[in-house]
Amino acid sequence: MEKKKPTARQMQNRLKNAVLHIDRTKDTKQIYFDDRGLNIVVNEDWACIGSGNYTCTFNVMSPSGISIQYTFLKRFLDVALKNEDKFLIMDKNGKPMRSYALFLKTLEKEYEQGNDKENDYLWVWYVDKWIYNYECNLASLGESPWQSFATYEKFIHNVACNHILMDEKTEDMTNHQYVAKVIEKMQEYMKGVQENVIFKAKSDEEKQKEQLDALQEIQQEQLLKEQENGSEQQ
């Protein structure tokens, strides 16, 4: 049964009640990396990044001017689309898929060979680290002992960084000195915090079960491949 298109009045009500609405205009650009589940969409007003259970949206303008997050994501997307044919792979059904891992590897190779005239790799490398940090912060939220502490650890890490950044500098500071000071500050903040186990050691039985499960998974994959090959030959 064909799905009916919403009427003009229904669209008006939907837009009126929407928390966020982003139009797909002629300037909208998008890419989806299948192996990472990462989706990036940019138009003239917004830059959106999403993966799995979240979507984050940045305005083109911030109180201080053009949004740095918008600028970086737009450049990242432009570089990806410019090189899209270099990281397209086909799945077993012949469907094209975009590989994030191959995208990074391709740019790195061109950079090492001296063919990256616009320094695309360095730009993408930097944004990739920012995306990783962003997703780790989101993933740390949870109820397990590790997730609870991971959220607190990231909090005191950020506080330590901000303390050092805002502190008046009386002499030059190297990157190694900066990291040492961050660790020193974090250790200072951890004083008085009760020490608890956040990762429990695995028993021999648990290790053996994991090995057995991994072996069974490999055997199942091999069996499926043999069945697929058999059906193709028929």
pLDDT at 168: 83
Same domain, 55 and 80: yes
Residue 77 inside a domain? The answer is: yes
Give the other-Cβ count within 10 Å of 88's Cβ.
Answer: 13
Which is more confident, 4 or 210? 210
Share of the chain above pLDDT 90, in %: 44
Look at the chain and count its residues.
234
Q: Is 90 helix (H, G, I), strand (E, B) or coil?
A: strand
Given pLDDT bands bounded at 50, 70 and 90, which one contains residue 148? confident
Same domain, 66 and 153: no
Q: How far apart are CA 8 and CA 140, in angstroms?
A: 42
Averaged over 139-146, what is the pLDDT?
A: 82
* Structure tokens, 199: 């990762």
Same domain, 25 and 135: yes
Same domain, 119 and 30: yes
Same domain, 75 and 165: no
Residue 15 inside a domain? The answer is: no
For 157, the domain range is 143-194
Same domain, 132 and 177: no
pLDDT at 158: 94
* Structure tokens, 140: 């740390």
pLDDT at 229: 63
Contact at 8 Å (CB) between 25 and 9? no
Which is more confident, 155 or 53? 155
| Final residue belonging to a domain, choices 107, 139, 171 | 139
pLDDT at 182: 95
Same domain, 133 and 25: yes
- Whether pTM > 0.85 for this model: the answer is no
Averaged over 31-49, what is the pLDDT?
A: 91
Same domain, 69 and 157: no
Given pLDDT bands bounded at 50, 70 and 90, which one contains residue 114? very high
Amino acid at 45: D
pLDDT at 175: 94
Q: How far apart are CA 41 and CA 141, in angstroms?
A: 25
Given pLDDT bands bounded at 50, 70 and 90, which one contains residue 61? confident
Mean pLDDT of the chain: 85
Which uninterrupted H or E stretch holds 96? Answer: strand 96-98
Same domain, 117 and 34: yes
Averaged over 91-117, what is the pLDDT?
A: 91
* Structure tokens, 211: 């090995």
Same domain, 29 and 62: yes
Query: Is 109 a residue whose pLDDT tops 80?
Result: yes
N-to-C CA span, the chain:
36
CA atoms within 13 A on the CB side of 4: 5
Same domain, 157 and 112: no
Amino acid at 144: S
How many domains, in total, are found in the chain? 2
Query: Is 40 a residue whose pLDDT tops 80?
Result: yes
pLDDT tens digits for range 187-214: 999 998 999 888 888 888 878 888 888 8
